[in-house]
Chain A
Amino acid sequence: MDDKNSDRALLATAVRDALPLFVPAIPFALVLGLAIVGSGINPWLAWTTSPIVYGGAAQLTLISLLGEGASVAAAVMAALVVNARHLMYSAALAPTFQQQPRWFQWFGPYLLIDQTFALGVLRGDDDPRTFRLYYITAGLTFWALWQLTTLLALFLGPLVPASWGLDFAVPILFLGLLVMMIDQWPKAAVALLAAAVTWLCADLPNRSGLLVGALCGVAAGITLEKLRE
């Protein structure tokens, strides 16, 4: 009986921790809805990115690039690298997951987004069962909210007249995201260089200049880092 009560308390804590962290995802959901409508892709098909990919930036990248006429390869690669930080999350949580049953090692990564990572690392020292319950509850809370808000955005998107130019919300949001991740000047330099090279390579087929620009940016970042040492 006591166990049941403490479990219930744990689940309530997980949901309570998750809800405020979901708020920053809401503009992403809305902008995704607009991008889906603007892309010309069947909205229901585009929405399946929510359960299949389950990552706002990757979904937005994939949908907008396909809408821009990028090749499938360029769009998929860009969508994958935009979330390169997942590798770091996975590495950081791996020790905690070693004490978990195999099924959870397979299921857990599906729910691994910025928010579950932030909550998960704080709970790394919990006993395995407590960690698992907490992670799944918080993770599924985010998951359900994301599915719902992106579905809602699908209906809200077409209601906005095209003359409002809401498509422009996509680059605005990405720019905001970029600025917020800049904590030292080399990152700003890297972003600017990647942007410049992408512009210079704009006429490459299937918008593949994007990949050239991104690669040059990363190479420049590594070079800058070596020079600073």
Chain B
Amino acid sequence: MTTFLAILATGLGTYFSRGSFILVLANRRIPPNIMLALQYVAPAVLGALITTMLVGPTGDTEIGLAELTALATAGVVAWRFRNAIYTLLAGMAMFWLAGALQ
């Protein structure tokens, strides 16, 4: 039930962020300061999110050499090719390869 409420809240929030300017703020512009902050929201949240996935609740981490090489590979491929499918394939291939070699 709690999970469903969380899904519902995320759904409503997502809908209203998409509808915000279309539904109510049509003649407003986003203030330049907010616009500035907005472009940093996604990189900040993603940086925090990835860390949360890699680090346990006590700050410990199970990240070994295989994970690190895989993440580095994914980063380079994403930078070079700007393509999510290549990134995923290269990262996972490196993860398995490095894991098998250990």
Residue of B nearest to A77 (CB): B13
Q: Interface on chain B toward A: helix, strand, loop, or mixed SS?
A: helix
**Residue A123, interface by CB 8 Å:** no
Enumerate chain B residues within 8 angstroms of A165, measured Cβ to Cβ: 95-96, 99
Complex: A41 Cα to B74 Cα, angstroms: 28
Residue of A nearest to B82 (CB): A180
Complex: A225 Cα to B12 Cα, angstroms: 32
Q: Is the CB of A192 within 8 A of B47?
A: yes
**Residue B45, interface by CB 8 Å:** yes
Give min CB distance, B28 to chain A, whole Å.
8
Tell me which of A62, A84, A87, A192 contacts B21 (CB under 8 A). Answer: A87
Enumerate chain B residues within 8 angstroms of A94, measured Cβ to Cβ: 21-22, 25-26
Instruction: Count residues of A near B (Cβ-Cβ below 8 Å).
Output: 101
Give residues of chain B (34-70) contacting chain A, Cβ–Cβ below 8 Å. Answer: 35-59, 67, 70
Q: Is the CB of A175 within 8 A of B13?
A: no
Q: Is the CB of B17 within 8 A of A90?
A: yes
Given A81-B41, A221-B37, residue A214 in contact with residue B48 (CB < 8 A): yes
Mind listing 23 A-B residue pairs with CB under 8 Å? A23-B85, A28-B84, A45-B4, A58-B10, A65-B49, A68-B52, A72-B2, A90-B19, A93-B22, A112-B18, A165-B99, A169-B92, A170-B53, A172-B91, A175-B91, A176-B84, A179-B75, A181-B43, A186-B40, A198-B48, A203-B57, A207-B57, A217-B47
Q: What 7 A-B pairs are tightest by C-beta distance, nearest first?
A: A217-B44, A221-B40, A176-B87, A191-B47, A109-B19, A52-B11, A213-B48
